[in-house]
Structure 1
Amino acid sequence: MPHSLPQTLPHLLLTRPAGGADRLHAALEAAAGQPWPATIAPILRIAPLPLPPMRPEGLILTSLHGAEAAALLSLPPGTPTWCVGARTAQAAAGIGLAVRLVAEDAEALVLALRSDPPPHPLLHLRGRVARGDIAARLRAAGLQLRDQVAYDQLAQPLAPEGRALLAGTAPVIAPLASPRSAALLAPELRAARAPWRAAALSAAVAQALGPLPEGCVTVAGAKDLQGLVAATLRAAAAFAP
């Protein structure tokens, strides 16, 4: 059993939007080698926004939702695209875009574009809530770039099933992939009766949880799905006797 997991696995509280939660759950069960009980209770809802007609010479996509928005623009095949994350890049390639870079995070993307700027303007399709100041930092470095809010990330209350899970007595693990989700879930975790641990995709996600008891947050070593899976397994192993 990977990472000396406990005989009875802690219950997963998955707060990503449904598609992302399903992918994470499948990856966790594959890594654990057994079924893993989970409650899917998204605390963010992705709401696509209408886009004006656009024909950018190049794109920056920092999320899968940005790639989904790009698909609505019917861009010419081969439009050069700079991505954050492997799934974003995979989705971009799937709609015929030419992926020039797959960066681990926004910081790596900014550094790469500063060191090797394209000769043409770029369009960043992003959510209403965004981190990293990508557009401002790249414009300050001399790149021609504009950003377009393509979707909203709407907060919603934790579903009753999620609240019931945290109010119980069985151990719970909450894998968290974004600072926003972490900040929204943090009050629920602080009030939880159940013993719990969180697995955070990055240090920024962990910091968004705010002050918590030492040792209750495990930070992923890599900022991707497999990194979050590995962090969740380590968090689960902490419940082993």
Structure 2
Amino acid sequence: MSRRMRFYAARRRLCHHNCFPAQELSECGPFKPPLHAFDLAGNTEARRKQCRGVAKAVQKIPVILTRPKGSNSVFKAGIAPNVRDRLEFIRSPLLEITPIEQSADCSGAQHAIFTSANGVKLAPNGNGRRAFCVGRKTTELAQSHGWDGVFAGATVTGLKEYVLTQQPQGEIHHYSGVFVRGNVAKELSAAGLNVMNVPLYDQRLLPFSAEALAVLQAKTPVIVPLFSPRTAAHFGAMAPAHPKLYIIAMSSAVADSLEEIAVSQLMVAQEPTAKSMAVCVEYLILNDSLG
């Protein structure tokens, strides 16, 4: 990997011609100062028009959406409109969520652990029982499904530490997919808690869509946000060599799963949230980082 960046991106940028800081490419500043202000900076009216001309000529940058169907709306909505207008979203889910049948009753536990929204959607109704959740969105979703949802951390590691401090008594079910990262049930059980993993869905790997593959085989810049270690590993195994590949990883664990794939830039979100991922996209576009 050529570069890895952890950052919290500012939303403001400088125009190509060193004009005043601007939030939109269509202007050379968030306000229109007197012309003499531009003259003092060496920016004439003609150059201001040139700035606008550059913005209009910019090609849309493809962004490959790798999350399962129906999981991209929060991420896309979090991108500022002036940036979103410069992007071309290409759907290519690399995972398909498939519910699986349970051979035994899995609804009788006193507590639950949720490390994904899919676990919440397929689990029994909470009926007021306590649920320890990873992420704010998963917590809110659990609450809407009848659970007494508690935000237990932004990562699986944080959740395990939090649950151990709470020492919940009785049976705990970790509702998850077939492929689980972090050994939640095993590690908490080893620490003395009664935790059982209950897989509710399979995560079937998918190939690239035809449109995504065409973009990856081209020479133009492409942005690929990756939200899970398994998706990242799958992407790295399939992706052809690309001279201008910009990857945004939701966490260090996601970035590490890419192994030795060559990228122009690898960015790790400040927080493992869709909003932080959106900020990374804004940074790439507004700071002219794409070659």
TM-score normalized with structure 2 length: 0.75
Q: Report deviation, 1:240.
A: 5.0
User: Can you list the C-alpha shifts for 1:171-217, whole angstroms capped at 9, x where unaligned?
Assistant: 1000010011111111344x244522000000110111112447521
Aligned partner (choices 68, 90, 93) of residue 143 of structure 2? 93
Query: Please, what is the CA RMSD of the aligned residues?
Result: 2.2
Letter in 2 for 1:57: Q
Contact kept? 1:198, 1:235, Cα under 8 Å: no
Contact kept? 1:21, 1:40, Cα under 8 Å: no
The 2-side partners of 1:13 and 1:80 are apart by 37
What corresponds to 2:71 in structure 1?
Answer: 20
1:127 aligns with 2:177: yes
**3-state SS of 2:71 partner:** helix
1:63 aligns with 2:116: yes
Aligned partner (choices 154, 157, 166) of residue 207 of structure 2? 157
Which consecutive residues of structure 2, in runs of 5 or more, have no partner in the other structure?
Answer: 1-9, 14-23, 26-54
Percent identical among aligned pairs is 25
**3-state SS of 1:46 partner:** strand
What corresponds to 2:282 in structure 1?
Answer: 233
Which consecutive residues of structure 1, in runs of 5 or more, have no partner in the other structure?
Answer: none
The 1-side partners of 2:279 and 2:290 are apart by 16
1:2 aligns with 2:11: yes
Q: 1:47 to 1:33 in 2, by over 3 A?
A: closer
Of 143-152 and 31-40, more deviation after overlay is shown by 31-40
The 1-side partners of 2:259 and 2:234 are apart by 11
User: Can you list the C-alpha shifts for 1:70-118, whole angstroms capped at 9, x where unaligned?
Assistant: 2xx2342x11000001121111011121013341010000011112211
What corresponds to 1:106 in structure 2?
Answer: 156
The 1-side partners of 2:73 and 2:254 are apart by 20
Equivalent residues, number:
237
Q: Report deviation, 1:34.
A: 3.2
TM-score normalized with structure 1 length: 0.89
Aligned partner (choices 57, 80, 83) of residue 32 of structure 1? 83
Q: 1:128 to 1:30 in 2, by over 3 A?
A: farther
Letter in 2 for 1:116: Q
Aligned partner (choices 233, 239, 245) of residue 196 of structure 1? 245
Name which one, 1 or 2, has greater alpha-carbon Rg.
2
